[in-house]
């Protein structure tokens, strides 16, 4: 038995299942539960939210954790051990290692940018597209990555930022928000804004992330950073449309 192929299959299986749980709950929060909670009065919120949100957030945060961990393990097996990350004329170098490290420090750069000038959706949208293009250029021309390599590393950057948001921004804020609602107190508006903003950012990043993860063997047409940046832009346009559509879906 090929041990590496066995572990790759197992990790990929867990990665996909955990990802479905995580992203499914993310979409539930943003396109279903958000508009629904807006229809509730204060007393109903006091009863419903402390029961509903903690249950959903359990699957949300652990789905994020298992998706991220198994994703890193797949990177190690397929892209680093199997060298799929590199183009034919490149290999391991200090520049490549720095580009890989950039994926894991990206959440802290993102956090600083959001706290400075990317709080508004329009600024985050434009800034995100530009930064995605810059990252792809760096992965390609500095890291010497293959098309598959720089596509998966942009996806890994999105996924790492999203997991950071879940565990270090959304979950801590929601714990305080839910506690306040349960006690009949108005939650801190800053915390509500923080959790909502980071959840919205995660939703935008999730759609191009899914493409970058699942299209690894059909990227023949996406042979440069420009086309993949267009994919990111198209994915964010789709999310914008779905946000616009979600409040229009009504109950009976």
Q: What is the pLDDT at residue 117?
A: 86
User: What is the structure's pLDDT at 219?
Assistant: 67
pLDDT in tens, 31-63: 999 999 999 999 999 999 999 999 999 999 999
pLDDT at 89: 84
Percent of the chain with pLDDT over 90: 87
Give the total number of structural domains in the chain: 1
pLDDT in tens, 222-245: 678 999 999 999 999 999 999 999
Q: How confident is the model at residue 87 (pLDDT cuts 50, 70, 90)?
A: confident
Structure tokens at 70: 């198994």
Q: 19-33, 94-108, 109-123 — which is least confidently predicted?
A: 109-123
**Which of 163, 162, 150, 159 has its CA nearest to residue 100?**
150
Domain residue limits at 238: 3-248
pLDDT reported for residue 1: 54
């Amino acid at each position: 038995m090929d041990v590496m192929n066995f572990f790759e299959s197992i990790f990929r299986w867990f990665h996909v299942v955990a990802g479905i749980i995580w992203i499914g709950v993310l979409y539930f929060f943003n396109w279903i539960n958000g508009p629904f909670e807006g229809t509730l009065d204060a007393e109903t919120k006091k009863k419903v939210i402390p029961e509903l949100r903690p249950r959903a957030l359990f699957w949300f945060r652990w789905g994020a954790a298992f998706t991220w961990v198994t994703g890193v393990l797949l990177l190690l097996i397929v892209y680093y051990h199997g060298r799929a990350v590199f183009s034919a004329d490149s290999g391991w170098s200090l520049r490549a290692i720095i580009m890989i490290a950039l994926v894991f420090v990206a959440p802290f750069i993102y956090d600083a940018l959001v706290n400075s000038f990317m709080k508004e959706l329009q600024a985050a949208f434009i800034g995100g597209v530009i930064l995605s293009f810059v990252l792809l250029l760096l992965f390609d021309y500095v890291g010497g990555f293959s098309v598959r390599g720089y596509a998966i590393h942009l996806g890994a950057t999105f996924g790492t930022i999203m997991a950071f948001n879940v565990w270090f921004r959304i979950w801590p804020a929601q714990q305080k928000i839910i506690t306040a609602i349960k006690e009949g107190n108005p939650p801190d508006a800053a915390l509500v804004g923080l959790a909502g903003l980071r959840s919205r950012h995660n939703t935008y990043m999730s759609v191009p992330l899914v493409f970058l993860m699942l299209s690894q063997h059909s990227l023949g047409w996406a042979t440069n950073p420009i086309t993949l940046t267009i994919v990111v832009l198209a994915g964010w346009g789709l999310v914008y449309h779905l946000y616009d559509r979600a409040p229009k879906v009504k109950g009976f």
